Amino acid sequence: MDSKSVIPVSQGRDTLPRASDPFSALRQEIDRLFSDFGRGFPAFGGFPTFGASDLALRMDMTENDKAIELTAELPGLEEKDVEINFVDGVLTIRGEKASEKDESDKNYRLVERNYGSFSRSIELPPGVDPAAIQASLGKGVLTVTVPKPAPAVAKKIEVKSAA
């Protein structure tokens, strides 16, 4: 097979002139509707953001020679709303922001605050002591400090002859 036979002749979408294609205007309008639809949802990269992806816990991670520090903003949450677990080298932070239900006399036109549960898991280096992990929540900022394990020391093992 000749390589020229697999190269497309035209990169454009319309191969027929507009006058001979009665459905081109309809197709363009449908394409426009679908592209406009995704602009308001974060899953499609739009703004303003709505939906579950906003509940993903976003955090800063810093590291120095003594510890790894995780910092996350959790506005409106208290200590009882956040759960931190460490299992098999994985640190998991979970929480839930409950919605306020006292809305009997309110007529909402715009709701931008998010409610729901979130979870984030981070794999930590081997050898972390779970008892040494500390967490604090103050003024809506969660700080988790994970002391680094001591560096592994190589031990030379003497080989003896088997008699």
What is the reported pTM?
Answer: 0.57
Strand partners for 86: 91
CA 35 to mean position of chain CA atoms: 24
In the chain, where the domains are located:
18-50, 52-100+111-147
Task: Please write the tens of the pLDDT for every residue from 114-143.
Answer: 778 888 999 998 888 999 999 999 998 999
Task: Please write the tens of the pLDDT for every residue from 26-61.
Answer: 888 888 777 766 555 544 444 444 444 445 678 999
Report d(CA 40, CA 44) in Å as an integer: 8
Report d(CA 84, CA 144) in Å as an integer: 9
Rounded to the nearest integer, the mean pLDDT of the chain is: 77
Cα–Cα distances (Å) from 162 to 150, 156, 159, in that order, read 35, 18, 9
Q: Which of 127, 140, 133 is nearest to 91 (CA)?
A: 133
What fold, for 52-100+111-147?
Immunoglobulin-like (2.60.40)
**pLDDT (0 to 100) of residue 50:** 41
Q: Report residue 21 as tokens.
A: 């294609």
